[in-house]
Structure 1
């Protein structure tokens, strides 16, 4: 029963990732983790590189989340890390950004003119 429930949850998280534009830019990683027993709740992590400044890229991701139904957006500028943790009937959403020159763990350094974005849906 847990497998079927997780399969439906995977589909919902993936559809929501598409709805909020989490896969915009160059996708470096797109995978699920957790979901069974001691591994914690099912989480979808999408890691991308996007052209533009950290402030502009973060604000565009926040705006897309609000357009998809998330409420109580974080105060700008929301850089480095912010989230939507209290929107009823929506998974937790955390957005992390990495400026050019910073290293996205396990994915390398962000090139000039780009921002790294990690979107986590739980």
Structure 2
């Protein structure tokens, strides 16, 4: 694949991941990180990582994130909801990228971002 073709492919992929992130509400709350990685050479597939802080409990926030993903077309919602630092994901929905959701309860540390403040939940959403 030539340089320009790879560049156009990456632009299309990043636009698609960004649109899906908006549809599932990945950027709700206070955004701590919103960055693309990979997708070049041996760096693996293009991935969009979004980390946010949101008001509420981990269980409520996790369920709201799962509900938003289902409303956007994802199937087979994970059970139980991903709470207290546990992850869950949607990996086999045709036409949509894989989504992994990890929640962090108040007091837990989000790697490279510090502890989650009281009354809030940290949410990491990764789209590949």
TM-score when normalising by structure 1: 0.98
Counterpart selection for 1:50 from 48, 54, 57: 54
**Structure 1 residue 51, shift from structure 2 partner:** 0.5
**Range that drifts further, 26-35 or 78-87:** 78-87
Counterpart selection for 1:104 from 103, 110, 120: 110
Gaps of 5+ in 2: none
Instruction: Specify the alignment match of 2:45 in structure 1.
Output: 41
Instruction: Specify the alignment match of 2:14 in structure 1.
Output: 10
Instruction: Specify the alignment match of 1:69 in structure 2.
Output: 73
**1:22 partnered with 2:1:** no
Superposed CA deviations along residues 13-70 of structure 1, whole A, max 9, x for unmatched, are 0011001000000000000000011100000000000000000000000000000000
Aligned-residue Cα RMSD (Å) equals: 0.7
CA distance in structure 2 between the partners assigned to 1:99 and 1:10 by the alignment: 29
Gaps of 5+ in 1: none
Bigger radius of gyration among the two? 2
Preserved contact between residue 59 and residue 76 of structure 1 (Cα < 8 Å): no
Dislocated runs of 4+, deviation >4 Å: none
Give aligned pairs, total. 122
CA distance in structure 1 between the partners assigned to 2:108 and 2:82 by the alignment: 17
CA distance in structure 1 between the partners assigned to 2:56 and 2:121 by the alignment: 6
**1:90 partnered with 2:96:** yes
CA distance in structure 1 between the partners assigned to 2:60 and 2:45 by the alignment: 31
* 2:107 aligned counterpart, secondary structure: coil
